[in-house]
Copies of this chain bind each other. A is one copy, B any other.
């Protein structure tokens, strides 16, 4: 268990984005957690729900989304392993959007009551989780900027940069390859574009030898060019320690 804890996605995640101590993460994981495996397209919590527990993603991808009157969908966040996608439900009773899986996923649920009790007793931990929700908001600001003021090409490049950095357990560079179980349709719904447009720009990227997105795998051949097209600067993700430093910290081989 001890050894396994070191590789827990939540630990990796909180270590890279907060000043949390390992002991405090351990306290989190000692809460009465229920694990569950669910398939792709599973609705974890729906708009209007009043959840009584928080969800932690152990494996797989999820997204938060809303559906408009005309049936159009807008994805307002992607979540990767280690994320606590609905931490907000701790203080906002009613869900104003849905949380669904984009791939088969392994989830863990932490009861609000238990979490609230722990946070009340441990102010450092409360601050770390507050900080996590603030980073989620920073990502939203970046999305607003991207959707509001960038062309489709830059938007697509930007989301790919973001997801790469957020999922990357090791440093990002050329020939980076990550599992990205996201369809072009889902990218379109996140970027305020149509699938047709996303498809055409992705093909252009491919033709330019920049990247390849196939079989749920993203391979980046020219990271610095992609970054430049996207105007991507990872500052808004507010890493306290770069992901590769976390690997070193956890004593992992690379």
Contact = CB atoms under 8 A, between A and B. Distances in A.
A133 B133 contact: yes
B236 A149 contact: no
B141 A68 contact: no
Interface in A57-99: 64, 66, 68-69, 72-74, 76-77, 88, 91-92, 94, 96-97
A40 interface: no
B91 A148 contact: no
Main secondary structure of the interface of A (DSSP, over half): helix
B144 A76 contact: yes
For the side of the interface on A, what is the size category?
35 or more
Contact of A68 (B92, B131, B136, B231): B231
Interface string A138-152: 101111110111100
Nearest to A119: B123
Contacts of A131: 91-92
Nearest to A192: B148
A201 B198 CA distance: 28
Contact of A88 (B73, B134, B149): B134
Contacts of A191: 148
A88 B137 CA distance: 9
12 contacts: A68-B150, A68-B231, A76-B144, A76-B145, A91-B131, A91-B134, A92-B135, A94-B235, A96-B236, A126-B130, A140-B140, A143-B144
Interface of A: 64, 66, 68-69, 72-74, 76-77, 88, 91-92, 94, 96-97, 120, 123, 126-127, 130-131, 133-138, 140-145, 147-150, 190-192, 231, 235-236, 238
Given A68-B145, A96-B238, A137-B137, 10 more contacts: A69-B231, A73-B149, A88-B134, A88-B138, A94-B238, A126-B130, A137-B140, A140-B141, A140-B144, A147-B148
